[in-house]
């Protein structure tokens, strides 16, 4: 991993699914959609002053969303926030770095 870059893609695990479950309501609010399915498929991380998670989430049918989730450092409370998203993604779309929403 390059300094400041993202890790290689990792398969979903219980920890990242739990993180995404915690921010599901925020994702629905920001995207304007309701998701009955919210299953993490894979993710990358980037260590900054905390951790950015770039996550591919299956949201039903052939649809996926890519999320950018920030988790603060423990001494700041470790809060989670959705800092960006990309809709209309497919199963084969690669998870790439993307900038946070303004």
Q: Is the pLDDT of residue 2 over 60?
A: no
pLDDT tens-digit profile of 57-70?
A: 999 999 999 999 99
Structure confidence at residue 92 as a pLDDT band (50, 70, 90): very high
Beta strands in 20-101 (DSSP E): 39-48, 50-60, 63-71, 80-89
Domain ranges, ordered by start, for the chain: 10-89
CATH code for the structural domain at 10-89: 3.10.450.10
Contacts of 44 (CB under 8 A, 6+ apart): 6, 7, 8, 9, 10, 53, 54, 95, 97
In angstroms, what CA-CA distances link 92 with 9, 62, 89? 13, 10, 8
Instruction: Categorize the per-residue pLDDT at 55 as very low, low, confident or very high, splitting at 50, 70 and 90.
Output: very high
């Amino acid at each position: 991993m390059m300094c400041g870059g993202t890790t290689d893609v990792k398969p979903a695990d219980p920890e990242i699914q739990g993180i995404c479950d915690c921010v599901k309501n925020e994702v629905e609010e920001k995207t304007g959609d309701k998701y009955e399915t919210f299953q993490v498929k894979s993710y990358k991380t980037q260590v900054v002053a905390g951790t950015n998670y770039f996550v591919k989430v299956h949201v039903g049918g052939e649809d996926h969303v890519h999320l950018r989730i920030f988790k603060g450092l423990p001494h700041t409370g470790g809060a989670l926030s959705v800092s960006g998203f990309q809709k209309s993604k497919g199963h084969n779309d690669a998870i790439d770095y993307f900038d946070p929403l303004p």
